[in-house]
Chain A
Amino acid sequence: MLSKVLSIFLSIFFYFTCIALGSDYHERLLLRPLPQSALLASFNFRSNTSATSFEQQHFRYFPRSLGQILQHAGTKELHLRFSLGRWDAENWGARPWDGAREGGTGVELWAWVEAESNEEANSRWLTLTNALSGLFCASLNFIDATKTIRPVMTFQPEGHHPNSTTDNLHLLHGTLPHEVVCTENLTPFLKLLPCKGKAGISSLLDGHKLFDASWQSMAIDVRPLCEVDGSGCILEIEQTVDMVLDIDRSKRPRDNPIPRPIKPTDLECDASKPYHAHDSCYPLDKKAEVAWNLKDVFGRPIKGSCPITADRGPDSETVCINVAPEREVQIQTSGGWTESKSEDGFVRCYRIFGDSDFDLNFPSQLVDKTVPLAQPRLYAARSINGYGQERGSVQAVITNPSPVDTIDLIYLESLPWFMKPYIHTLKAAILPSTNSTPTPPIKETYYRPSLDRHRGTHLELLLTVPPVSKVILTYDFEKAILRYTEYPPDANRGFDVAPAVIRLLSPRAPRFPHSTPEALKRGTYLRTTSLLLPLPTPDFSMPYNVIILTSTVMALGFGSIFNPLVRRFVGVEEVGAAGLAGAVRLRGFLRGRVERLRARFGGKGGKGE
């Protein structure tokens, strides 16, 4: 059963992704309602250019701005991710694209850079991050040597690189977990598309809705693809936007976004409960699926079709929905459209003609049969334990729900230099522990220790997780104390630690017959959430306080040495009246004051008695 569900699920994604070298532009939107009135919207855009016209800088559907950056930085393959939120695997099931088009929270960038030496690769990487930073209005230029690692096992090139160049290809990977992805990153992303959000499915992408999503991930992947015989290479840019929207939340009008309580008359109560009464209610889960349409959820309908997509074949169908066969869908458009259904009826695809608005309307409906949800092959969670300003520990729990399969995976951590792990404390325990001799889950370790202020820790582990069990990975770390100027603004918030990247190695193809070679090449990935690491933070006015206090102490010391040296000491009676007059007067004045105060308070006290 599981494999059947998985196969349906996977086929939806892989159905679209067989590479066709002929047409130059593809776009596809997949809408899939998820439990609890969530909606997964998965946008995919692909443009091709031939390698020769790319080299000669003749850009047609491939964006010029990005193309020139790639050429200038000698980048052969590029993957860039902007993500926000957390994928709720318990409720939403497996990730779209098997997690291969998803990034960790914030910004993640990895690329294969062609260079003769490591130094050249580093300088090209610097060029690349700086240029991309300008293009996408993101702080990518902050990916410096301390945030860059060179993963060994986790990432494989997706494109076809000729054997002659593979020796000179350097993989570099950098993350910015603190980066907040927002509208200013979406606008340049849309500008890269040939239809620019003016027509086709990209017209649905609106910053207000996209960044209001429960989870969203924008991806840009550039890779070279070649024919099998090595001739006729193309460069493909794939832009992906995946998001999970809350339908109820999206339907609220923008000028009145506060959720209102449901009227008591509209509540569906469970009358079988003993405490059910006229003034108390145990609300029932809604059985009916909520009503929604594209305009409600995205704020606007699809503005016609992007005219440069393919004329016929599955590529011309740009909007697909993944709902139960009996779910009613009303098409609202003044233009033409055609519909095609998959064999099992769970996927319906639409082709749109002309440039008139296109909207899909889903009325409220009671549906018995729900769309089967593919379950993820692995769950992972990671957290920081411990307390205090000095030490802590990290715990990662990797769960294999499968009853039969043993899963091999690669676990990649890229830690900032101020978080110093003790590798001797790295332990992996299997739960539930079996009585038979346990095989250690860690098969291989790649570890590159950090250097203060120069590079971060790079840890890669090859792990095995037996069926129906958990691997609990723990290690201790020490928190470094930063220099005064190294603290960012709002240092008391804590420091973000990049998500761990997990790549699944096995089981492979036989169990998943629908996995295309393309999907296998992409791989299956999983990312944990980012961590917030509290570091000891000083009081930032401290230096000035220290300067002032030290100065005062020094001045006091100076005075107490200097004055005895330059003054002459004589007896009181030897001082003339003139010399004492000031002191006498001051004493008299003070005494008078004290007397007056005493008289006043004494008088009051007297009254009270």
Chain B
Amino acid sequence: MPSNPPPSPAPSIQDATNIPPKSGAVDALNKAKQPPPESNETLWTRRLVILSFWAVVICLGIPIWWKTTTVYRAVLPLQAMMDWSDGKICRPVFPLQIFIDAPFLLPADAQNLIRTTQHALDDLNDFSAHHLRLLLSEPRSTSNFSQDIVQTTSIKGLGDETHDREDIALKINLIPGQSGSVPRSELQPYESRLDVFYTPNQIPSSSSTSSPLATFIANKLQFIFAEEQASLAYLLSQSNTGQQTQIKSMSQETAASLARQSTRSFKYAPTYHLTFSLFTPTSIPTEWDIEAALKEYMQPLLASLSSISEFTVDTQLQLYATFSPSVQQPEEDPTTGTWLLRKDDLSGFVNAAEWPLSPSIGKGPTVNFVLYVPTADQAPLVVKENRGNSWLVPQWGGVVILNPPYGEKTKTPSTLTKNDLQPAMLTFSNQLLSLLGLPQSPASLPLRISTLTRVRAASLLFSASSTLGALARLTQALESIAIPDTVAHSVDQTISRLHTACTDLREGRFHSALANARIAELEAEKAFFERSMVGQVYFPEEHKVAVYLPLLGPVSVPLIMAALKEVRKLRARAQAGA
């Protein structure tokens, strides 16, 4: 074909108008007629049209699209949250107040004694966050010993005034004794009081810096609070607050036992539901005197624990409830006639499918106590490895197998009396203490409970802080999740409560610290588990695009093409001009 057009760089219609035809043959064939040249005005109109379309798209379309598809993200104090979780803001300290009551000492002597004892204590203590401060009790309470107790008990429950008293860690009574060259002490098991008996010659003189009595009291106090210090130190080391250096004195075993104890115990809650259940694979016993047994063996304990948590108690009796079928049937030991359960099977003993152990309704965890009465032909039933009959299920409850008294193969009575239940109830109360995370020592229950208060306050503080950190990291990692205002509000609440709790700890108000830390923890969990935050994540963006592609595609192609063409023409014009 002779009419091949010259390979011009951009053979568009408009170009054809500007470039004069080079070949006469083509010209002749087409009877070349040129379109009239475009006026500048139409050129500009076209440009303005394209520009205004793009302006609408950019100024109106994209913002509306952006506005309608973005998720709402409330502003969170991310830096503060991270700081809390890194432990940069609060370094919890535990100043314990110990009052010394020395009615038979001169004030000067007493002051001197306190000074020297404090000195000895500070030397012994290698955990700076936890320190004991000795104080001389007010003169008004020095009058009489028995009266003082009456006063203490009467003051309790008067509201805010009791705070000071409740937060006194320990009270030391100095009682002059006659015999013995070494001081002697006695810890009251049901009161936070330590009685120290001394002879007058053990009192330090005003000039001396040490005395046997001071050293004795210091050692004793250090011993009493050793476990508390260990568990607090363990807690601090677990939380990433950068205080690892302070636990150099802790042995491997202590750390391991503390770790075991913390995995075993329940998370702190203001209310616990205790469920006592009797399970028997047969139809006997059909009655148990649980009300009386609870009243005698459980109520006093629960009453003393009531300062940290509330407890509700319910009981049930279930017949025809065999243990889990996955457990190997117990074997008989021919020598003693006992039936042996293997230790490995204990974890599967509780028959979760059939035993009605649903958690109680209401806030707070349920602690289950299971009393299992084996069949007459499988009694006594014991654990093979240690011949024990009870075990603890971490963070769930405890199990006790109630065997008839050894030796006599008596039939199980149809009614279990209070006395039959006594050993089981004692085991249950031990298990309860251990499930609540109460320390093993010292021997005084109020002291252990107040230790628990401090440990719980600290652990709640750390857990709320780390939840805040996790939330901060989560919101940073997932850009597409929504953050409603409630979350921001909860975070603010948490932070303010954490501040209060931290101050409370520093000033020795442990109960109020616990209460604040609890609210902080609650709010932090609420923020972290906010339901509306997760919903959006699973709506893929490409679905929205796919649905609207029939609109976006045909609209955007001419827009882009027109813009490209215009830009190219402009560039050509610029080249031509140059």
- With a CB–CB cut-off of 8 A, which chain A residues contact B21? 576
Q: Mark B542-555, 1 if CB is under 8 A from A, else 0.
A: 00000111111111
- With a CB–CB cut-off of 8 A, which chain B residues contact A486? none
B362 touching A72 by the CB < 8 A rule?
A: yes
B window 308-366: CB within 8 A of A: 312-321, 354, 356, 358, 360-362
- With a CB–CB cut-off of 8 A, which chain A residues contact B33? 571, 573-574
Kindly report which residue of chain B lies nearest to residue A61, judged by CB atoms.
B317
B550 touching A555 by the CB < 8 A rule?
A: yes
B window 9-58: CB within 8 A of A: 11-14, 16, 21, 26, 29-35, 38, 42, 46, 49-50, 53
The 9 closest A-B pairs by CB, nearest first: A555-B554, A551-B551, A57-B314, A576-B16, A198-B320, A551-B550, A578-B11, A570-B35, A574-B35
Closest chain A CB from B64 CB (angstroms): 15
A562 touching B317 by the CB < 8 A rule?
A: no
- With a CB–CB cut-off of 8 A, which chain A residues contact B283? 195, 199, 306-308
A570 touching B13 by the CB < 8 A rule?
A: yes
B320 touching A199 by the CB < 8 A rule?
A: yes
B30 touching A58 by the CB < 8 A rule?
A: no
Closest chain B CB from A356 CB (angstroms): 14
- With a CB–CB cut-off of 8 A, which chain A residues contact B548? 547, 551
A568 touching B13 by the CB < 8 A rule?
A: yes
Knowing A57-B313, A551-B551, A571-B35, the reply to whether A577 touches B5 (Cβ < 8 A) is yes
The yes or no answer to A1 lying at the interface (CB within 8 A) is no
Q: Pick from B26, B32, B360: contact of A68, CB below 8 A.
A: B360
Closest chain A CB from B20 CB (angstroms): 11
A window 353-367: CB within 8 A of B: none
Query: How far is B277's CA from A63's CA once the two chains are assembled, in angstroms?
Result: 12
Query: How far is B29's CA from A65's CA once the two chains are assembled, in angstroms?
Result: 99
The yes or no answer to A581 lying at the interface (CB within 8 A) is yes
Closest chain B CB from A596 CB (angstroms): 23
Closest chain B CB from A128 CB (angstroms): 11
Closest chain B CB from A137 CB (angstroms): 12
A555 touching B361 by the CB < 8 A rule?
A: no
Q: Pick from B38, B312, B314: contact of A64, CB below 8 A.
A: B314
Knowing A131-B361, A551-B548, the reply to whether A64 touches B316 (Cβ < 8 A) is yes
Closest chain A CB from B50 CB (angstroms): 6
Q: Pick from A68, A308, A558, A562: contact of B314, CB below 8 A.
A: A68
The yes or no answer to A544 lying at the interface (CB within 8 A) is yes
Kindly report which residue of chain A lies nearest to residue B360, judged by CB atoms.
A68
The yes or no answer to A563 lying at the interface (CB within 8 A) is yes
Q: Mark A46-80, 1 if CB is under 8 A from B, else 0.
A: 00000001001111110111001100100000000
The yes or no answer to A427 lying at the interface (CB within 8 A) is no
A196 touching B316 by the CB < 8 A rule?
A: no
Q: Pick from A72, A308, A562, A573: contact of B30, CB below 8 A.
A: A573
Binds A, one of B65-73, B88-96, B226-234, B284-292: B284-292
B46 touching A56 by the CB < 8 A rule?
A: no
B46 touching A579 by the CB < 8 A rule?
A: no
B358 touching A65 by the CB < 8 A rule?
A: yes
The yes or no answer to A575 lying at the interface (CB within 8 A) is yes
Knowing A556-B554, A579-B16, A581-B5, the reply to whether A59 touches B547 (Cβ < 8 A) is no
- With a CB–CB cut-off of 8 A, which chain A residues contact B284? 307
- With a CB–CB cut-off of 8 A, which chain A residues contact B291? 53, 56, 58
The yes or no answer to B142 lying at the interface (CB within 8 A) is no
Closest chain A CB from B559 CB (angstroms): 7
Knowing A72-B361, A563-B558, the reply to whether A568 touches B38 (Cβ < 8 A) is yes
Knowing A68-B360, A544-B547, A577-B5, the reply to whether A308 touches B13 (Cβ < 8 A) is no
Query: How far is B470's CA from A226's CA once the two chains are assembled, in angstroms?
Result: 56
Query: How far is B274's CA from A68's CA once the two chains are assembled, in angstroms?
Result: 13
The yes or no answer to B8 lying at the interface (CB within 8 A) is yes
> Interface centre among B11, B26, B284, B312, by most A CB within 10 Å?
B11
Query: How far is B552's CA from A558's CA once the two chains are assembled, in angstroms?
Result: 11
Closest chain A CB from B273 CB (angstroms): 9
The yes or no answer to B562 lying at the interface (CB within 8 A) is yes
Q: Given known contacts A63-B356, A565-B46, A579-B16, what 20 new A-B pairs fall within 8 Å (CB)?
A: A57-B314, A58-B290, A59-B316, A59-B317, A195-B283, A196-B319, A196-B354, A307-B283, A307-B286, A308-B283, A551-B552, A552-B550, A552-B554, A555-B554, A562-B558, A571-B35, A574-B33, A575-B16, A576-B32, A578-B5
Q: Mark A537-569, 1 if CB is under 8 A from B, else 0.
A: 000000010011011101110110011011010
The yes or no answer to A286 lying at the interface (CB within 8 A) is no
A555 touching B547 by the CB < 8 A rule?
A: no
The yes or no answer to B202 lying at the interface (CB within 8 A) is no
Question: What are 17 of the A-B contact pairs (CB < 8 Å)?
Answer: A57-B312, A60-B287, A60-B316, A199-B320, A307-B283, A548-B547, A551-B552, A555-B551, A556-B554, A558-B555, A558-B558, A559-B558, A568-B38, A570-B35, A575-B35, A578-B5, A579-B12
The interface of chain A, by Cβ under 8 A from chain B, is: 53, 56-61, 63-65, 68-69, 72, 131, 135, 191, 194-196, 198-199, 306-308, 544, 547-548, 550-552, 554-556, 558-559, 562-563, 565-566, 568, 570-571, 573-579, 581
Kindly report which residue of chain A lies nearest to residue B32, judged by CB atoms.
A576
- With a CB–CB cut-off of 8 A, which chain B residues contact A56? 291
B interface residue count range (under 10 / 10 to 19 / 20 to 34 / 35 or more): 35 or more
The yes or no answer to B430 lying at the interface (CB within 8 A) is no
Query: How far is B548's CA from A554's CA once the two chains are assembled, in angstroms?
Result: 11
The yes or no answer to B206 lying at the interface (CB within 8 A) is no
Kindly report which residue of chain A lies nearest to residue B8, judged by CB atoms.
A578
Q: Pick from A65, A135, A566: contact of B562, CB below 8 A.
A: A566
> Interface centre among A131, A573, A578, by most B CB within 10 Å?
A578
Query: How far is B287's CA from A566's CA once the two chains are assembled, in angstroms?
Result: 94
Q: Pick from B16, B275, B312: contact of A578, CB below 8 A.
A: B16
The yes or no answer to B306 lying at the interface (CB within 8 A) is no
Closest chain B CB from A316 CB (angstroms): 15
Kindly report which residue of chain B lies nearest to residue A355, judged by CB atoms.
B283
B554 touching A576 by the CB < 8 A rule?
A: no
- With a CB–CB cut-off of 8 A, which chain B residues contact A576? 5, 11, 13, 16, 21, 30, 32
Closest chain B CB from A251 CB (angstroms): 29
B550 touching A60 by the CB < 8 A rule?
A: no
B12 touching A558 by the CB < 8 A rule?
A: no
Closest chain B CB from A132 CB (angstroms): 11
- With a CB–CB cut-off of 8 A, which chain A residues contact B307? none
The yes or no answer to B299 lying at the interface (CB within 8 A) is no
- With a CB–CB cut-off of 8 A, which chain A residues contact B360? 68
Q: Pick from B547, B551, B562: contact of A554, CB below 8 A.
A: B551
Closest chain A CB from B159 CB (angstroms): 29
Query: How far is B4's CA from A577's CA once the two chains are assembled, in angstroms?
Result: 9
- With a CB–CB cut-off of 8 A, which chain A residues contact B552? 551
B321 touching A196 by the CB < 8 A rule?
A: yes
- With a CB–CB cut-off of 8 A, which chain B residues contact A573? 30-31, 33
Query: How far is B362's CA from A565's CA once the two chains are assembled, in angstroms?
Result: 70
B312 touching A548 by the CB < 8 A rule?
A: no
- With a CB–CB cut-off of 8 A, which chain B residues contact A68? 314, 360-361
> Interface centre among A59, A69, A548, A556, by most B CB within 10 Å?
A59
Kindly report which residue of chain A lies nearest to residue B274, judged by CB atoms.
A57
Query: How far is B558's CA from A112's CA once the two chains are assembled, in angstroms?
Result: 69
Query: How far is B73's CA from A180's CA once the two chains are assembled, in angstroms?
Result: 43
Query: How far is B315's CA from A191's CA once the two chains are assembled, in angstroms?
Result: 16
- With a CB–CB cut-off of 8 A, which chain B residues contact A565? 46, 49
Knowing A191-B356, A565-B49, A579-B13, the reply to whether A58 touches B314 (Cβ < 8 A) is yes
A59 touching B315 by the CB < 8 A rule?
A: yes
- With a CB–CB cut-off of 8 A, which chain A residues contact B361? 68-69, 72, 131
> Interface centre among A306, A308, A551, A554, by most B CB within 10 Å?
A551
Closest chain A CB from B437 CB (angstroms): 25
A548 touching B550 by the CB < 8 A rule?
A: yes
- With a CB–CB cut-off of 8 A, which chain B residues contact A57? 312-315
- With a CB–CB cut-off of 8 A, which chain A residues contact B53? 562
Closest chain B CB from A448 CB (angstroms): 32
The yes or no answer to B238 lying at the interface (CB within 8 A) is no
The yes or no answer to B3 lying at the interface (CB within 8 A) is yes
